[in-house]
């Protein structure tokens, strides 16, 4: 049962790429240089944020507080006076020596410092939406975050996030041994809730003595503030180095190190692998994505923009139409403009 004395907060990060003040500050640090890690796709706006709030209101009315993390801008339609909403500026929680930052890694690695944040919180990127009614137990049970646990190999390629995972796994292997970690939580790791393929992959990869990598679902992650504090205490140097980068760097760690730490330490409960549905928008899966959104059958759904997304404006129109089929009503977080 959900313990009301242990509230669950949501965090969402957002940037307004059309804000000229933000553009000018960003230009001071990046000039005209564009890289894969710092490209337009990281910032372009799908204009669907209102649907994120509508989904929270419809599917998770039990949430304690929503912390809206921003460079300083907010959407004109957002009711910033809503009592369930906490507007958080980067400078409110990120140490001064790391500012200004245009790296999601710096923002994410310092989330636990947000004033008033609950010990239990769920972190959303703005492309991850709730897609059906969910309960607190879908995210935390017995004070532990819900997750899917499985080993995987890190696939290194210039178009993947493998470099970040490599840094994350370095942290994990410096603090945990694979076999003792899995043995201590064997029922969690071999649970069929993780998916048959994931269990098989874990059994095969556990022949090694080190963690080769973790299966990663592109969904919202449940975290404990105490996990962040512990990792910062034990691995300050790599997190500090990451946060000093104004933009995402290939040697960065990222928020996944917190997720992986919870898995390696056994501080999690198993959630069904099917809870998360993610599609990286491409020509071969776009129609499927547009069909799935209105079905309201996934706990959460990730609409992931990538460099391979073409015909952006057309796809944005289709995505908005699909979301509007199930979330047409304005939420309490929207005001008249």
Cα dist. 127→102, 219, 278, 286, 293 in Å? 18, 9, 10, 15, 13
pLDDT tens for residues 286-309? 889 999 999 999 999 998 876 666
Residue 242 near residue 252 (C-beta atoms within 8 A): yes
Q: What's the burial of 228, exposed, middle or buried (CB within 10 Å: 0-12/13-18/19+)?
A: buried
Q: Which helix (H) or strand (E) is 59 found in, with range?
A: helix 49-59
Mean per-residue pLDDT of the chain: 92
Q: What is the pLDDT of residue 38?
A: 45
The separation between CA 88 and the C-alpha centre of its own chain, rounded to angstroms, equals 17
pLDDT tens for residues 113-162? 999 999 999 999 999 999 999 999 999 999 999 999 999 998 887 777 78
Q: Give the separation between CA 33 and CA 193, rounded to whole angstroms.
A: 45
Q: What is the pLDDT of residue 156?
A: 83
The whole model's pTM is what?
A: 0.93
Q: Give the separation between CA 123 and CA 137, rounded to whole angstroms.
A: 16
pLDDT tens for residues 196-227? 999 999 999 999 899 999 998 889 999 999 99
Q: Compute, in degrees rounded to 10, the torsion defined by CA atoms 171, 174, 180, 182.
A: 20
């Amino acid at each position: 049962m959900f313990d009301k004395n242990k509230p669950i907060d949501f965090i969402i990060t957002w940037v307004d790429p059309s804000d000229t003040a933000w553009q000018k500050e960003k230009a001071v640090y990046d000039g005209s240089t564009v890289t894969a890690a710092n490209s337009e796709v990281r910032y372009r706006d799908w204009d669907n944020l209102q649907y994120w709030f509508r989904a929270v209101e419809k599917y998770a009315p039990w949430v304690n507080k929503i912390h809206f993390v921003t460079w300083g801008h907010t959407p004109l339609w957002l009711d910033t006076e809503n009592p369930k909403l906490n507007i958080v500026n980067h400078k409110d929680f990120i140490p001064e020596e790391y500012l200004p930052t245009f790296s999601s890694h710096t923002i994410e690695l310092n989330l636990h410092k947000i004033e008033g944040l609950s010990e239990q919180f769920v972190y959303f990127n703005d492309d991850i939406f709730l897609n059906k009614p969910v309960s607190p137990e879908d995210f935390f049970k017995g004070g532990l975050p819900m997750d899917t646990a499985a080993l995987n190999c890190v696939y290194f390629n210039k178009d993947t996030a493998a470099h970040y995972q490599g840094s994350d796994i370095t942290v994990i292997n410096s603090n945990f041994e694979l076999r003792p970690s899995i043995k201590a939580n064997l029922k969690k790791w071999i649970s069929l809730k993780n998916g048959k393929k994931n269990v098989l992959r874990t059994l095969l990869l556990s022949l090694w003595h080190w963690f080769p990598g973790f299966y990663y679902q592109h969904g919202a992650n449940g975290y404990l503030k105490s996990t962040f504090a512990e990792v910062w205490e034990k691995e300050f140097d790599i997190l500090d180095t990451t946060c000093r980068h104004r933009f995402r760097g290939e040697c960065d760690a990222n928020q996944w190190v917190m997720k992986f730490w919870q898995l390696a330490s056994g501080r999690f409960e198993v959630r069904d692998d099917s809870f998360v549905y993610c599609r990286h928008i491409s020509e071969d899966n776009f129609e499927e994505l547009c069909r799935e959104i209105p079905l309201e059958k996934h706990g959460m759904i990730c609409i992931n923009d990538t460099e391979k997304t073409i015909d952006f404006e057309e796809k944005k129109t289709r995505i908005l139409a699909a979301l509007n089929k199930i979330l047409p009503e304005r939420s309490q977080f929207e005001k008249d403009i």
